[in-house]
Amino acid sequence: PEEELSTVERARDVATEAAQSAGEPLRELHGRVEDVTVKTDKSDIVTEADHQANKIITTIIENEFPDHTIFSEEAETVEGDSEYKWVIDPVDGTGNFAHGNPQYSISIGLLEGGEPVMGVVYVPETDEMFHAVKGGDAYKGEKKIQTSDRSALDESMLLSGWDPDGEFLTHFYQETRGVRALGSAALSLCYLANGSAEGIWEYGTYPWDVAAGVVIARAAGATITDRHGEEYSVEFDSDERKELLGSNGEAHANILEHLQKNEELMR
Ligand code: IPD
Ligand code: CA
Ligand code: CA
Ligand code: CA
């Protein structure tokens, strides 16, 4: 007889199903978006497709786990205070999505007692499904993925998100093989997880950007901290931006050392 799945494993299966379902309309609308709504400023946008994807994902999760708390970037309210809290970004990289760039993802994370324990990140355009359960391995589809083992900065490729002063980009562009800004923090964490990058810096992430990616990256061998090297924690339903420094583990000390040498770098 088949072994019974734990709640978290069941959650992973439901999350992958929800991500696949939400990916279909996104693929259809990709690059054909006409209705862009500006939220807080010109680079913070949302589209009808974000809301549509959100509805599909939350409906599927609610159906399977009616007692769980569900939080999404595009939800108006949060109800309930369950031990299990879902943290969802229906489209991470809306800018890319609206401009027809394929690098956007669906991010579905689960916290248990405040700890990120399950993550699914799906890339509709390439049909790549990244997933992990805390304590297990990280996967892209059926294939196990792992971080790289490079530690030397001059052999490293880094990823960066929003970098207001451009100082991370400038400094590390000179010290490494390059720094790339993908435009989807969730996807960047998956690239770290599968060894395509040695490190990632995000100056200001929201919990829904990283809740899933952090589980996947850690399961693949990554170290995720703040810029002082303190373990990164996901604050549920916080709308504060938070800095995140991730690496394959091997390069962490080198990146931290550079950050600390340039005390002013991030300010
Ligand atoms: C954004 C992306 C981007 C990151 C921003 C996020 P959104 O998410 O993850 O990579 O640098 O901080 O807000 O708004 O497209 O879901
Ligand atoms: Ca947004
Ligand atoms: Ca996001
Ligand atoms: Ca989003």
Using CB distances shorter than 6 Å, the residues near ligand 1 are: 89, 91-95, 161-162, 183-185, 202, 204-205, 209
Is residue 125 helix, strand or coil? coil
Q: Which amino acid is at 37?
A: T
Q: Is 136 exposed, middle or buried (0-12, 13-18, 19+ CB in 10 A)?
A: middle
Q: Domains in the chain and their CATH numbers?
A: 7-144 (3.30.540.10), 153-261 (3.40.190.80)
**Which residues does residue 112 pair with via DSSP β-bridges, in sequence order?**
84, 115
Whether residue 215 contacts residue 190, with contact meaning beta carbons closer than 8 Å, is answered with: no
Centre a 10 Å sphere on the Cβ of residue 58 and count the other Cβ atoms it contains.
20
Q: Report the chain's terminal Cα–Cα distance, integer Å.
A: 57
Q: Return the best residue to mutate from 45, 74, 92 for the ligand 1 pocket (most ligand atoms within 8 A of CB).
A: 92
The pLDDT tens digits for 184-199 are 999 999 999 999 999 9
Tokens encoding 143: 């294939």
For residue 65, pLDDT beyond 80: yes
- 0.95 surpassed by complex ipTM: yes
Helices (H) and strands (E) in the chain, counts: 7, 14
pTM, to two decimals: 0.96
pLDDT band (50, 70, 90) for residue 25: very high
